[in-house]
Chain A
């Protein structure tokens, strides 16, 4: 089949970008969206043009590297699917596809369809873990976890950190991503001791990064390739609220999130702003 791809091309973060239209003639319906871009790139290189930059690695929907908008939908039209697993048989011969990068202030563009998602790493670094150093763990069966809790924690932990939730949200909120980690760890008994402080730190960092606030629209769950449930945002809000009530004096007023590790500059923010 034959497709028209209208792709956002932008050389660097500071350059101005534009849509460029390409025609790909030899599209096989078994190809993935990324293989279709491979074919286009081979053509471009052979013609002496600059290939389209896009992020990818595992190509089986688990690493979270890939992702862009297809006709305005993050990861394209098929539910619960990343672009690397989206086969071309879901499109019609002759169709035009508009490909754009994730657009969000907290995901600065690097090139073409590639954006910088280090803000996600910084949200995790702010508190998305259980503080247990190597060697200090009790026997695995010393901590009993009800099956139902383990299953619910796993539902939330399935997040691949691709950023589709942010891209789909009209506010560019990272609530689904942040909530998924807060819910995963907060549900488990191992995560209880740090439950309050974790939510405060992660939410504060999320706000400092420039993600928008959540207004419960739910676009995020419509595009999430791992179908993370909306409840994780409720869990985040509850833990944040509970935490800021209990920990107000000790921690909240002293938090100073980092925003740019690479440059070493630290931005001071009011932890009560947003949310």
Chain B
């Protein structure tokens, strides 16, 4: 199989204009004759559904939550980037493009990233017009901040709730279309399979999570905006419901899955406090501006932090990276926290934590200044841990919070199944091996508001689709398959709960395919995952029936898919014999312990094809060319 990303030829600045001009249009009067399915109602899904509804298509939008407003985009805190250059500090579309390609450690597609930077400016305009209450200057203009180490202030924000406000903007636009009759919303409805007829995506099979009914929905095109798969690790900063099921089942129907091992770990989360822990909470990275990170010098030092004198402390980031110190990038900070904890020097009851200490900053700047900067974060920390960070150092530990990998899409955001489009975190497209802060919201809205509404139109205008009805054998097959899986899960009635399996799977993936990876560890992990998966299908206990509201059954289906994904992540990580971005293979590091890319051999997107469970997946490579931004090694010494 040959992958064609369909990147427009010619200069990168004109690529998107050229592509748009070459697209075929659907006659306005014909738009209402086309039906489109959107799965997921986060930033990407809701914005796509709303925009397609505005254009006049007949849209059906699905989400597993009780309301489209709950999608996990809502939890994003920091902000959204845009190359507006309102601060007159030298920003430009080209600079945002450059920073994103470099930040992605040269594993993303240049043309996609350039388009993202171009569209970033339209997103801000659209959101302001919708009434998103972005932070303002006294004169009434929009304000910006610098974020994630960027040297320009290009991040727009609404307090610490930017994701919430952007999502509510998209949700309101969506509800406006619901009222107008162009969009039909299906909440509490989960996609369980993709319907592919004559090699084209033509619909989905769903389960109504209240009544248990299995239904089919047919359409001329299907768009998946179902988010990332960080919950494969069980503990992550993702919402509990976030899952891989929609894209995984599309993968099993033929869509290639790209770079599954590219996952991002955030260094400043509140550590795990016990086995009952259900999720991890992110603390803003800005804390590292003033906090100093340390652990005891000696193993197993159980003294309280204030009893440990200066000479018995190891400020390990300041020691190893004198010029960047506590401000090294996310992946470097995370990895080093893991190393010191692996050495037995971690703090807190579980030993999986490091101190983030504000004592020096408070002494230097005064408590008031620290309160002004981080007051709300300190309060959140105290609420969860019952410790006062003004007096006792915070404890932090890294956690998974974003996945760069996802279904492979071309420049038009279409997967390898014609008619199946993938938007937002669910696709693999723009972040390469590492995502920069405040870029996830930008990508979700860019895909949903400004890209997929055009490219779906082009697909509809250039493909003549036969009418299908529910009696088609592919549809009956897909429904039978879904019903079978549901029945199978319910019939095992073993001795272990779904959560206990999920927790164990998460530990394996975190240990061997988390912050740092080795060939041996990954091989080991693959064996362990297979064994656990086998046990799952023999010994899981899913109570209740399939005919009503059954949250255990919902989880059981999702965890079954996480098992298969986990194996593919390890296979992908094993195949990629280099370190880049969030993927750190211990065998491939520089003398200083930094990630060592291998551009000669691994400058490609690894897209995997499904060949049935138990068979090794097919690897298809999309080579990456860097015409504009030239690959260079990162250094933070």
Chain B residues whose CB sits within 8 angstroms of the CB of A89 once the complex forms: 386
Given known contacts A51-B551, A58-B75, A89-B386, A42 and B500 CB-to-CB distance under 8 angstroms: yes
Smallest Cβ-Cβ distance to A54: which chain B residue: B551
A124's contact among B141, B158, B161, B175, by CB below 8 Å, is which? B175
Chain A residues whose CB sits within 8 angstroms of the CB of B130 once the complex forms: 129-130, 132, 137, 190
Chain A residues whose CB sits within 8 angstroms of the CB of B371 once the complex forms: none
A31 to B275 Cα, complex, angstroms: 10
Contact with A along B279-290 (1 / 0, CB 8 A): 101100000000
Given known contacts A87-B384, A190-B130, A134 and B176 CB-to-CB distance under 8 angstroms: no
* Cross-chain contact B65 with A65 (CB below 8 angstroms): yes
Q: Is the interface of A mostly helix, strand, loop or mixed?
A: loop
Q: Residue B179 at the A interface, CB < 8 A?
A: yes
* Cross-chain contact A125 with B178 (CB below 8 angstroms): yes
Smallest Cβ-Cβ distance to B125: which chain A residue: A137
Nearest-Cβ distance from residue A77 to partner chain B, whole angstroms: 14
A227 to B500 Cα, complex, angstroms: 37
Given known contacts A39-B276, A130-B130, A53 and B551 CB-to-CB distance under 8 angstroms: yes
* Cross-chain contact B161 with A153 (CB below 8 angstroms): no
Chain B residues whose CB sits within 8 angstroms of the CB of A153 once the complex forms: 131, 133
Given known contacts A35-B277, A53-B551, A42 and B128 CB-to-CB distance under 8 angstroms: no
Pick out which of these stretches binds chain B: A109-117, A167-175, A236-244, A266-274: A109-117
Chain B residues whose CB sits within 8 angstroms of the CB of A141 once the complex forms: 86, 141-142
Chain B residues whose CB sits within 8 angstroms of the CB of A143 once the complex forms: 128-129
Chain A residues whose CB sits within 8 angstroms of the CB of B449 once the complex forms: 134
Q: Give the A-B contact count at a CB cut-off of 8 A.
A: 214
Chain A residues whose CB sits within 8 angstroms of the CB of B273 once the complex forms: 28, 30
Interface size on B, residues (CB 8 A): 79
A134's contact among B135, B274, B450, B544, by CB below 8 Å, is which? B450
Contact with A along B254-269 (1 / 0, CB 8 A): 0000000000000000
Given known contacts A12-B548, A38-B499, A129-B175, A57 and B125 CB-to-CB distance under 8 angstroms: no
A129's contact among B172, B277, B385, by CB below 8 Å, is which? B172
* Cross-chain contact A150 with B134 (CB below 8 angstroms): yes
* Cross-chain contact A62 with B75 (CB below 8 angstroms): yes
Among the interface residues B175, B282, B386, which one has the most CB atoms of the partner chain A within 10 A?
Answer: B175
Contact with A along B107-130 (1 / 0, CB 8 A): 000000000000000101111111
A121 to B70 Cα, complex, angstroms: 11
Contact with B along A100-121 (1 / 0, CB 8 A): 0000000000110010111011
* Cross-chain contact A45 with B541 (CB below 8 angstroms): yes
Given known contacts A114-B549, A140-B124, A38 and B179 CB-to-CB distance under 8 angstroms: no
Q: Residue B164 at the A interface, CB < 8 A?
A: yes
Given known contacts A110-B549, A158-B161, A46 and B497 CB-to-CB distance under 8 angstroms: yes
Chain A residues whose CB sits within 8 angstroms of the CB of B126 once the complex forms: 132, 134-135, 137
Chain A residues whose CB sits within 8 angstroms of the CB of B124 once the complex forms: 140
A51 to B178 Cα, complex, angstroms: 35
* Cross-chain contact B172 with A58 (CB below 8 angstroms): no
A117's contact among B67, B134, B551, by CB below 8 Å, is which? B67
Among the interface residues B66, B164, B178, which one has the most CB atoms of the partner chain A within 10 A?
Answer: B66
* Cross-chain contact A145 with B67 (CB below 8 angstroms): no
* Cross-chain contact A111 with B548 (CB below 8 angstroms): yes
Smallest Cβ-Cβ distance to A58: which chain B residue: B239
A246 to B282 Cα, complex, angstroms: 48
Interface residue ranges of B549-604 to A (CB < 8 Å): 549, 551-552
* Cross-chain contact A35 with B142 (CB below 8 angstroms): no
Chain A residues whose CB sits within 8 angstroms of the CB of B541 once the complex forms: 45-46
Chain B residues whose CB sits within 8 angstroms of the CB of A32 once the complex forms: 278
Chain B residues whose CB sits within 8 angstroms of the CB of A12 once the complex forms: 548-549
Interface residue ranges of A117-168 to B (CB < 8 Å): 117-118, 120-121, 124-141, 143-147, 150-151, 153-154, 157-158, 160-161
Q: Residue B319 at the A interface, CB < 8 A?
A: no
* Cross-chain contact A138 with B125 (CB below 8 angstroms): yes
A178 to B217 Cα, complex, angstroms: 33
Given known contacts A51-B543, A126-B179, A137-B128, A59 and B278 CB-to-CB distance under 8 angstroms: yes
A50 to B548 Cα, complex, angstroms: 12
Q: Residue B187 at the A interface, CB < 8 A?
A: yes
Q: Residue A64 at the B interface, CB < 8 A?
A: yes
* Cross-chain contact B276 with A121 (CB below 8 angstroms): no
Q: Residue B171 at the A interface, CB < 8 A?
A: yes
Q: Residue A200 at the B interface, CB < 8 A?
A: no
Q: Residue B138 at the A interface, CB < 8 A?
A: yes
A157 to B69 Cα, complex, angstroms: 13
Smallest Cβ-Cβ distance to A126: which chain B residue: B179
A-B contact pairs, 9 of them (CB 8 A): A38-B278, A51-B551, A58-B74, A59-B279, A65-B66, A135-B450, A145-B133, A154-B158, A160-B164
The 7 lowest CB-CB distance pairs between A and B, nearest first, are A144-B140, A129-B172, A137-B129, A125-B175, A137-B125, A154-B133, A150-B136
Apart from A58-B75, A140-B127, A158-B164: 20 A-B pairs, beta carbons within 8 A:
A28-B276, A29-B386, A35-B276, A57-B72, A57-B241, A60-B279, A124-B171, A129-B175, A134-B54, A134-B173, A135-B122, A135-B450, A137-B122, A141-B86, A144-B139, A144-B140, A150-B133, A153-B131, A154-B159, A157-B133
